[in-house]
């Protein structure tokens, strides 16, 4: 409903024996090329964007969607990525992504 705020909990688990440095990022998900990017990313926030998940532990992330009072009709889609960052030779980062869709 327009004007409402929704709260979701997302739990991430590190099954490995090593610390897991993570970064949470959000992207629009377009169902087709004819549909323009939505303003959804402006409405979504998390309480943690960069964190290190200890070995064999879980972390709960709060995701908040705060809808404006007026919203054009239509569907709004987005993806919350949890990117794992590792450093190779301390210079070139690469990413592995896990996905939570909302």
Confidence band for 36, pLDDT divided at 50, 70 and 90: low
Position 99 scores a pLDDT of 45
Arithmetic mean of pLDDT over the chain? 80
For residues 85 and 93, the answer to whether their CB atoms sit within 8 Å is yes
Residue 1: pLDDT above 80? yes
Residue corresponding to tokens 């705060």? 66
Strands (E), the chain: 5-14, 20-28, 44-46, 50-53, 57-66, 78-88, 92-101
Q: What is the architecture of the domain spanning 5-101?
A: Sandwich (2.60)
- Convert the pLDDT of each residue in 63-95 to its tens digit: 999 999 998 887 788 888 888 876 443 433 444
**pTM for the structure as a whole:** 0.72
The predicted-structure confidence for 18-30, as pLDDT tens digits, reads as follows 898 998 888 887 7
């Amino acid at each position: 409903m327009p004007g409402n705020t929704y709260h979701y909990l997302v739990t991430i688990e590190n099954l490995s024996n090593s610390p897991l440095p993570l970064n949470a990022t959000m992207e629009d998900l377009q169902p087709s090329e004819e549909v323009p990017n939505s303003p959804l990313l402006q409405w979504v926030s998390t309480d943690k964007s960069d964190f290190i998940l200890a070995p064999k532990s879980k972390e709960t992330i709060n995701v908040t969607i705060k809808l404006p009072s007026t919203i054009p009709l239509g569907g709004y889609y987005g993806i919350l990525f949890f990117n794992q960052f590792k450093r190779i030779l301390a210079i070139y980062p690469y990413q592995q992504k896990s996905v939570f869709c909302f």
